[in-house]
Amino acid sequence: MILLDGKKISTQINQGITNRIKILKENNILPSLAVILANETIESKTYVSMKQKMCEKLGIQCKIIHLIKPFNNDDILKVLSDLNKANNIHTILVQLPLPKHIDKNKILSAISPEKDVDGLNPLNSGKLFQNNNIHFIPCTVRACMELLDHYKIDIQGKHAVIVGSSILVGLPLSTCLLHRGATITLCNINTVDTKSQVNNGDIVISCCGVPRLIKKDWIKKGAIVLDVGINKINTPDGTKLVGDVDFDNVKDITSYITPVPGGIGPMTISMLIKQIVEACERNNI
Ligand code: GUN
- Residue by residue, pLDDT tens for the chain (285 residues) are 999 999 999 999 999 999 999 999 999 999 999 999 999 899 999 999 999 999 999 999 999 999 999 999 999 999 999 999 999 999 999 999 999 999 999 999 999 999 999 999 999 999 999 999 999 999 999 999 999 999 999 999 999 999 999 999 999 999 999 999 999 999 999 999 999 999 999 999 999 999 999 999 999 999 999 999 999 999 999 999 999 999 999 999 999 999 999 999 999 999 999 999 999 999 875
Q: Which residue among 5, 116, 118, 202 is the active-site one?
A: 118
Pocket test for ligand 1, best of 40, 118, 273 (most atoms within 8 A of CB): 118
Q: Give CA–CA dist 158/154, Å, rounded.
A: 8
What pLDDT is recorded for position 283? 84
Query: Ligand 1 centroid vs 15 CA: distance in angstroms?
Result: 23
Alpha-carbon distance of 275 to 209, in angstroms, equals: 25
- Residues with CB under 6 Å of ligand 1 are 47, 93-96, 118, 139-140, 168, 268
Distance CA 111, CA 80 (A): 6
Pocket test for ligand 1, best of 36, 65, 93, 207 (most atoms within 8 A of CB): 93
pLDDT score at 177: 99
* CA of 43, closest atom in ligand 1: 2
Q: Residue 128, Cβ neighbours under 10 Å: how many?
A: 21
User: Could you tell me the distance, in angstroms and rounded to a whole number, from the CA of residue 203 to the centre of ligand 1?
Assistant: 23
Strands 2-3 and 256-257, sheet pairing: parallel
User: 95 catalytic, yes or no?
Assistant: yes
Residue nearest atom 9 in ligand 1 by C-alpha distance: 95
Eight-state DSSP code of residue 214: B
118 flagged as catalytic:
yes
Residue identifier of the C-alpha nearest atom 2 of ligand 1: 96
Q: With residue 281 as reference, give the H or E element that holds it.
A: helix 264-284
145 residue type, one letter: M
* Domains of the chain and CATH, by start: 28-115 (3.40.50.10860), 139-265 (3.40.50.720)
Phi, psi of 43 (to 5 degrees): -60, -50
User: Rounded to the nearest whole angstrom, what is the distance from the C-alpha of residue 87 to the centroid of ligand 1?
Assistant: 24
SS3 259: coil
Report the distance separating Cα 166 and Cα 108, nearest Å: 14
What is the distance in A from the centroid of ligand 1 to the CA of 154?
Answer: 27
Residues 6 or more apart whose Cβ sits within 8 Å of residue 191: 197
User: How far does CA 152 lie from the centroid of its chain?
Assistant: 20
Q: Whose CA is nearest to atom 7 of ligand 1?
A: 95
Q: From the CA of 227, how far away is ligand 1's center (Å)?
A: 16
**Using CA of residue 145, residue 151, residue 152, residue 153, what is the dihedral sign?**
negative
What are the DSSP E strand ranges found in the chain?
2-3, 32-37, 61-66, 91-94, 159-163, 183-187, 203-206, 224-227, 231-235, 238-242, 256-257
Report the alpha-carbon distance of residue 111 to residue 113 in Å, rounded: 6
The verdict on pTM exceeding 0.95 is: yes
Alpha-carbon distance 29 to 156, whole Å? 39
Pocket test for ligand 1, best of 35, 52, 168, 270 (most atoms within 8 A of CB): 168
Give the sign of the dihedral formed by CA 213, CA 235, CA 166, CA 91. Answer: negative
Identify the pLDDT of residue 285: 57
CA 19 to chain centre: 23
pLDDT for the residue 29? 96
